[in-house]
Amino acid sequence: MEKQFTTFYIDEMHCGIDILLVKEINRQLEISEVAGAPVFIRGLLNLRGQIITVIDISVRLGFAARKPTPRSRCIVLKTTAELAQLPQSAEIEEETTSEMVGLFVDRIGDMITVDDREIQAPPANFGNIDSRYLSGVIQREADLLVILKIGEALSC
């Protein structure tokens, strides 16, 4: 069976999440900080009148916070209610949240389609990244794509 992923970069690490989780990719990065929020919460974003909590996925994975660049983006995820409206044929192994959430990433990669047999278990020792945030890896030529368990990364 084939799966599609939206890919993005955290520094030079190529990451991916199931494309069905993605509502939109936005370059609007006027994010307001929230005092007292967990360190991985970058802040709040007003997107066409809707308030979105923005997660700094690099911090959540254990990296240093990133400064926004012209290539930085916010990947807005579908809510659990929006995912529930997808056809039953859409096999989603992840959950998001009941509220709108965005992921702050360094830059967007490609949308890719892979055979699920290409997805391998993540290595036991994958740097400083907590393995609970990793779903698998895909080796393509000289590139390693890290598939994230985004539902796990969203949980506080």
Compute mean pLDDT per 10 residues along the chain, 156 residues long, and list them: 93 93 92 93 94 94 90 95 82 84 96 92 78 88 90 82
Q: pTM value?
A: 0.92
CA 3 to chain centre: 16
What is the model's pLDDT at position 89?
A: 63
What is the model's pLDDT at position 92?
A: 79
The CATH number of the domain where 74 resides is what? 2.40.50.180
Given a contact cutoff of 8 angstroms between Cβ atoms, the answer to whether 21 and 150 are in contact is yes
Instruction: Tell me the residue range of the domain where 64 lies.
Output: 2-154
Quickly tell me which residue has 């998001």 as its tokens: 96
Domains held by the chain: number: 1
Q: What would the DSSP string read from start to end of the chain?
A: -EEEEEEEEETTEEEEEEGGGEEEEE----EEP-TT--TTEEEEEEETTEEEEEEEHHHHTTPPP----TT-EEEEEPPHHHHHTS-TTS-------SS-EEEEESEEEEEEEEEGGG-BPPPS--TTS-GGGEEEEEEETTEEEEEE-HHHHH--
